[in-house]
């Protein structure tokens, strides 16, 4: 995931719209082939496929990128798949906002899942039609075909700031199905009051971890009660 620790001063260009097709985005043959090729290249680490840690492109610290570790990515990906199975809408569509690690683990576990990766780093164009260039400074500069179509939205706001979370919240509102949608928000502990106010998202007991340890403590917030999963909801004092 892109988990940017602090604001930098680079000026981001406005987001560029993707193809505005009438149909809800689905995994294309090109994207699936690219993903399978990418995952096959990870096989040099030894062990079975299920035991291997998926490795993304190198973290670009100029973009404040820090990828989640294997346990975190697998735990959250499994929860997303569980939510999709319980969704009353078919097919279930997932939006991954600035969290490429989760996108890759989702596709690894369930290659046919309909998932869209919204990401600023164009190196992830390798995922074909599943990739969409996303600049949080332009929170609703997205194809109308995606509006209110996602049953599950998982987001890792690029920066730990009030402004960034507010703008990502606009994107979440644009994408989420207003009748039935689940939100998983991965961000810093410092954002818990804002997460509740902006997104009605509560902190869970499960603590996300990164491959490279960060000084900021990260939390997983959800807008639904996971019950016994993800360590359950914690009460905000």
What is the percent of the chain with per-residue pLDDT over 70, rounded to a whole number?
70
Is the separation of the CB atoms in 97 and 153 below 8 Å?
yes
Query: What is the pTM (predicted TM-score) of this model?
Result: 0.76
Classify residue 236: in a domain, yes or no. no
Cα–Cα distance measured from residue 186 to residue 121, given in angstroms and rounded to the nearest whole number: 18
13 is a domain residue: no
User: What pLDDT does 13 receive?
Assistant: 34
Domains of the chain: total:
1
How many C-alpha atoms does 204 have within 13 Å on its Cβ side? 25
Asked whether residue 11 is assigned to any structural domain, the reply reads no
Q: How confident is the model at residue 235 (pLDDT cuts 50, 70, 90)?
A: confident
Is 43 a domain residue?
no
Question: In sequence order, what are the beta bridge partners of 133?
Answer: 119
Q: Which two tokens stand for residue 189?
A: 């502990």
Q: Domain for residue 12, yes or no?
A: no
Task: Tell me which DSSP letter residue 45 carries.
Answer: G
Query: Which pLDDT does position 84 carry in this prediction?
Result: 94
Tell me, what's the pLDDT at 149?
95
CB 149 within 8 A of CB 24: yes
What confidence tier does 23 reach under pLDDT thresholds 50, 70, 90?
A: very low
Residue range 134-160, pLDDT digits in tens = 999 999 999 999 999 999 999 999 899
Q: Which of 73, 84, 67 is nearest to 124 (CA)?
A: 67
CATH code of the domain in which 92 resides: 3.40.50.150
Instruction: Name the residue range of residue 193's domain.
Output: 64-231
Q: Is residue 87 part of a domain?
A: yes
Q: Dig out the tokens for 45 from the structure.
A: 């680490």
Residue 16 resides in a domain: no
Q: Is residue 49 part of a domain?
A: no
């Amino acid at each position: 995931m892109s988990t940017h620790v602090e604001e930098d001063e680079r000026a981001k260009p406005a987001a560029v719209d993707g193809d505005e097709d009438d149909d809800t985005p689905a995994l294309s043959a090109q994207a699936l082939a690219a993903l399978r090729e990418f995952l096959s290249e990870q096989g040099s680490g030894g062990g079975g496929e299920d035991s291997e840690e998926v490795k993304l492109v190198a973290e670009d610290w100029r973009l404040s990128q820090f990828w989640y570790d294997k346990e975190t990515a697998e735990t959250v990906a499994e929860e997303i798949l569980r939510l999709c199975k319980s969704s009353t809408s078919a097919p279930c569509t997932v939006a991954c906002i600035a969290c490429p690690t989760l996108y890759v683990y989702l596709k690894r576990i369930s290659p046919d899942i309909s998932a869209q990766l919204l990401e600023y780093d164009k190196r992830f164009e390798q995922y074909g039609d599943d990739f969409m260039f996303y600049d949080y400074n332009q929170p609703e500069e997205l194809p109308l075909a995606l509006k209110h179509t996602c049953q599950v939205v998982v987001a890792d706001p690029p920066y730990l700031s009030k402004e960034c979370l507010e703008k990502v919240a606009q994107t979440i509102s644009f994408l989420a199905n207003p009748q039935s949608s689940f939100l998983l928000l991965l961000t810093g502990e410092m954002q818990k009051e804002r997460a509740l106010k902006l997104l009605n998202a509560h902190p869970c007991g499960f603590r996300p971890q990164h491959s490279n340890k960060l000084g900021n403590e990260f939390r997983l917030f959800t807008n639904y009660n996971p019950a016994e999963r993800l360590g359950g909801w914690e009460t905000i004092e």
